[in-house]
């Protein structure tokens, strides 16, 4: 793991530290944590290889976040600090950014929001390092580089990202074909012109001027987003300096973000199409089949009833798949939790158990519950948590043979509320266990041949639990049963 992805999380709340570590580690980052300001500052001073980004809580006992920020900036002025704040302390976050913090994120935040902020900071750090490399390699002025037919020019011209190089006066000295396409300019015609003359975009010119003559001398990179005709562009502008720290000009990397907006639009259209064009007709088909089976359309033969029953089962399976696909789309879009409210997990579990008791009795399965007293509440979406426990309990019943047992226990576990679903079912092999949360993953064996499902249930469960900043784990032994453990953070404040 390279130091480019090393993250330090400084927060006095264990839930926030654990959640950030788990989310960022799954995103490929190496994460260290500190429980207070003193411990965090010590890690910054002595951390091996240094940190790329520091996530810093402003409100901590002892040495608060603002003091840590000031001390950390003295140790490393280039350190990227993202402050963590509550909605009621946004003003403090703004003050922290005036003192050198790169960005802020407000509690409570979703995994997607955290990843976006951290990845943005990592991208900034990457651009800074690339700019430093460019300065080290530039032995001559940028005007010489612009006219030299070198390997560097060949590489730049082959890049998918747009590159615009300007001198210290803001005049263009080098562009590549990708930049010409994105900015709708001709490479030769725009040379020696200023960006405002060639492109006419004020934001891009402000970014160049901001790194050439910054109000804050420590500013070496500026990111801007702007629209050019039908294209949406993200620009990262970095100052290029000589070995004597003299500003020679700027390098701007242009990224076409239009395709991401188009993907979002297509995803939205797809979800709408699935909702209205597929779900409604299939529901209508199922209802009509029920009417025929109930004799509304007249008598049916035994063979007809058999065929209609199979059609009804297939249509329900297809409807379940559509519902799961919609849920997966919501999770990936970061909107898994529609309504957060204080909840008692045991109340949600009781409602699910009451719903599933009939299915358990039909299979002659003993369904037991154990609720510990004085359990703390959690902050979550009731409908989604009901979906989580319904899925887990349904799986336990489906994969447990007749005469087996299923136990649901809800208890407190440190800063979390723990729910355990334990069964005496067929279990999962050690070979299949690592893949059970993958989309469309289903355990295939002689014992599961007659059990239907979409293969999306556990993937949805994991997404919902992580959207609540919780975790889910599974222990299983083939032939002896499965134990699923869900940890949800207690409501704080």
What does the pLDDT read at residue 420? Answer: 95
Tell me whether residue 74 is exposed, middle or buried, using C-beta atoms within 10 angstroms of its C-beta: 0 to 12, 13 to 18, 19 or more: exposed
Domain 138-256 superfamily per CATH: PAS domain (3.30.450.20)
Q: Would you say 86 and 59 are in contact if contact means Cβ atoms under 8 Å apart? A: yes
What does the pLDDT read at residue 1? Answer: 36
- How many other C-beta atoms can be found within 10 angstroms of the C-beta atom of residue 92? 18
What does the pLDDT read at residue 3? Answer: 52
- Over the stretch 167-176, which tens digit does the pLDDT of each residue have? 878 788 888 8
What does the pLDDT read at residue 405? Answer: 94
Give the domain 341-489 fold: Heat Shock Protein 90 (3.30.565)
What does the pLDDT read at residue 145? Answer: 53
| Residue ranges per structural domain of the chain | 3-133, 138-256, 260-332, 341-489
pLDDT of the chain along its 493 residues, tens only?
345 688 999 999 899 999 999 999 988 888 999 999 899 888 888 765 578 899 998 888 889 888 988 888 888 888 889 988 875 567 777 888 888 888 888 888 888 888 988 888 888 888 888 877 777 666 455 556 555 555 667 777 777 788 888 887 878 888 888 888 888 777 777 777 777 777 776 767 777 777 777 665 666 677 777 777 777 888 888 888 877 777 788 888 888 877 777 776 676 567 656 666 777 777 788 888 888 888 777 787 888 888 888 888 888 777 777 777 777 666 666 666 667 889 999 999 999 999 889 889 988 999 999 999 889 999 888 888 998 999 999 989 988 998 999 999 999 998 999 999 999 998 888 888 888 887 766 666 555 555 555 567 788 888 888 888 899 999 998 888 999 999 999 987 6
Cis preceding-peptide flag for 301 (omega within 30 of 0): no
What does the pLDDT read at residue 323? Answer: 74
Token pair 């802020």: residue: 104
What does the pLDDT read at residue 468? Answer: 86
Distance, CA of 166 to CA of 141 (rounded, Å): 11
What does the pLDDT read at residue 384? Answer: 86
- Over the stretch 137-170, which tens digit does the pLDDT of each residue have? 664 555 565 555 556 677 777 777 888 888 878 7
Q: How far is CA 141 from CA 155, 157, 208, 431, in A?
A: 19, 19, 17, 59
Q: How far is CA 377 from CA 33, 97, 240, 387, 452, in A?
A: 26, 34, 53, 18, 35
What does the pLDDT read at residue 139? Answer: 44
- Over the stretch 113-127, which tens digit does the pLDDT of each residue have? 889 888 888 888 888
Q: What pTM does this model have?
A: 0.45
Q: Taking the mean position of all CA atoms in its chain, how far away is CA 348?
A: 26
What does the pLDDT read at residue 236? Answer: 83
Distance, CA of 40 to CA of 410 (rounded, Å): 34
CATH code: domain 3-133 is 3.40.50.2300
């Amino acid at each position: 793991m390279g130091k480019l992805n090393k993250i330090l999380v400084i927060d006095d709340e264990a839930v926030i530290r654990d959640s950030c570590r788990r989310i960022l580690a799954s995103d490929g980052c190496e994460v260290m944590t500190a429980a207070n300001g003193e411990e965090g500052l010590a890690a910054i001073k002595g951390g091996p290889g240094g940190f790329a980004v520091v996530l810093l809580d402003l409100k901590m006992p002892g040495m608060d976040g603002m003091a840590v920020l000031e001390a950390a900036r003295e140790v490393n002025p280039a350190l990227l600090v993202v402050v963590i704040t509550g909605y009621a302390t946004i003003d403090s976050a703004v003050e922290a950014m005036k003192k050198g913090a790169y960005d802020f994120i407000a509690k409570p935040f979703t995994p997607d929001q955290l990843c976006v902020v951290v990845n943005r900071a990592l991208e900034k750090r990457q651009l800074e390092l690339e700019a430093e490399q460019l300065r080290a390699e530039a032995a001559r002025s940028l005007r010489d580089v612009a006219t030299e037919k070198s390997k560097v020019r060949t590489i730049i011209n082959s890049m998918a990202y747009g590159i615009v190089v300007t001198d210290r006066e803001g005049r263009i000295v080098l562009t590549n074909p990708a930049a010409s396409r994105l900015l709708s300019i001709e490479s030769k015609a725009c040379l020696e012109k200023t960006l405002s003359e060639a492109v006419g975009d004020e934001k891009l010119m402000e970014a160049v001027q901001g790194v050439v003559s910054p109000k804050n001398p420590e500013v070496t990179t500026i990111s801007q987003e702007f629209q050019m005709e039908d294209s949406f562009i993200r620009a990262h502008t970095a100052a290029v300096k000589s070995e004597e720290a003299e500003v020679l000009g700027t390098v701007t990397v242009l990224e076409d973000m239009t395709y991401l907006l188009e993907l979002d639009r297509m995803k939205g259209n797809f979800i709408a199409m699935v909702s209205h064009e597929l779900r409604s007709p299939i529901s209508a088909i199922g209802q009509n089949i029920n009417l025929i089976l109930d004799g509304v359309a007249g008598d049916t033969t035994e063979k007809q009833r058999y065929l209609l029953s199979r059609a009804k089962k297939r249509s329900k399976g297809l409807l379940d798949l559509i519902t799961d696909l919609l849920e997966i789309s919501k999770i990936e879009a970061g909107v898994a939790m529609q309504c957060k409210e204080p909840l008692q997990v045991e109340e949600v579990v009781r409602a699910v158990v009451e719903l599933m008791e009939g299915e358990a009795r039909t299979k002659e399965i003993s369904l037991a519950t154990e609720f510990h007293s004085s359990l703390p509440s959690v902050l979550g979406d009731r409908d989604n948590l009901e979906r989580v426990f319904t899925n887990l309990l349904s799986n336990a019943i489906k994969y447990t043979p007749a005469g087996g047992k299923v136990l649901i226990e809800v208890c407190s576990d440190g800063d979390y509320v723990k729910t355990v679903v334990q069964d005496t079912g067929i279990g999962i092999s050690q070979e299949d266990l690592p893949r059970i949360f993958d989309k469309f993953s289903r355990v295939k064996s002689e014992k599961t041949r007659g059990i239907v499902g979409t293969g999306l249930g556990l993937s949805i469960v994991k997404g919902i639990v992580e959207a609540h900043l919780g975790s889910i784990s599974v222990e299983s032994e083939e032939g002896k049963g499965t134990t699923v453990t869900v940890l949800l953070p207690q409501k704080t404040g």
